[in-house]
Each structure stands twice: as C-alpha cells, then as structure tokens.
Amino acid sequence: MRAGEIRAAINSDQDIVTARQKGRALAIELGFSTGDGTLIATAISELARNIVSYARRGEITLKIVHASNRQGISIIASDSGPGIRDIHQAMRDGFSTSGSLGLGLPGVRRLMDEFEIASEPGRGTVVTVKKWKL
C-alpha cells in the first residue's frame, strides 16, 4: 500500500482534469468501487474548479486515512484566495458570487461522507472532505 500523500497544484482548468484523474486512480487503487471513484473524481473537480474560479491558484492534496477498521480517502482543497465571507450562505444551494451554478459546496458535501470548511476573508479557504470505503 502506498503511503504519504499526493499533491496536485491547481493553476488552470487543465489542472482540474489532472487532479480528478489522480483522485480516481487512488480511489480504485484503494479498492473503492467505480461508482465511488466517480463520486470522488466529481468532488475533486468541483473543489478544484472553485480554486480556479475564486482564488486562481491553490492545491489539492489526496491522503489515505484510517479509522478503527476502515479505510478512506481524504481530499484537501486549499488556497490563499479571497476566502468566503459567509460560509453558511455559501453552503446553501444556489448561492454563488462568480456567476457559476452555485451548487459547488453543498453538492460536494452530498457526494462525500464528511465535509469540513475553514475560511478567512483575505487569507484563503481550506475544504477537507472524506469518503470511507464500505
């Protein structure tokens, strides 16, 4: 089993594709179903897109995580962008400040098992999501 973490720099729309491919590859390697691989790849795509749209650059880190007798994958999307002023508002379906669909964050939360967000205006945003293997 591979150790450590996989990092993908997110600076362009092409990096979004690369990051989600890495995520799917790791998920399949860990024994996730192809369906879960798709959910993980889609979540990465949305998180990476938020980085490109709002912060221009940032990073996606993929980690293997363990808890009692289960294994999972953790995705950390971090940037030093403008941050989110009102997280509660950002977590509502339909909210967007960049003219996008505004479904990003609540949708990602539904795709994954665990969702955490920390953001500070002017400092950046870190979103951490996890998917556990059944």
| Tokens describing residue 18 | 């690369």
Cβ-based nearer residue to another protein, 113 or 120: 113
What is the footprint of another protein within residues 10-69 (CB under 8 A)? 13-14, 16-17, 20-21, 24, 34-35, 37-39, 41-42, 45-46, 49
Which of 6, 3, 131, 2 lies closest to 70, judged by CA? 131
What is the footprint of another protein within residues 74-93 (CB under 8 A)? 93
Grouping H, G, I as helix, E, B as strand and the rest as coil, residue 108 is: helix
Residue 130 CB, shortest distance to another protein, in Å, is 15
Cβ-based nearer residue to another protein, 5 or 93: 93
On the 0-12 / 13-18 / 19+ scale of CB atoms within 10 A, 80 is middle
| Residue numbers at the binding site for another protein (CB under 8 A) | 13-14, 16-17, 20-21, 24, 34-35, 37-39, 41-42, 45-46, 49, 93, 100-101, 103-104, 106-108, 110-111
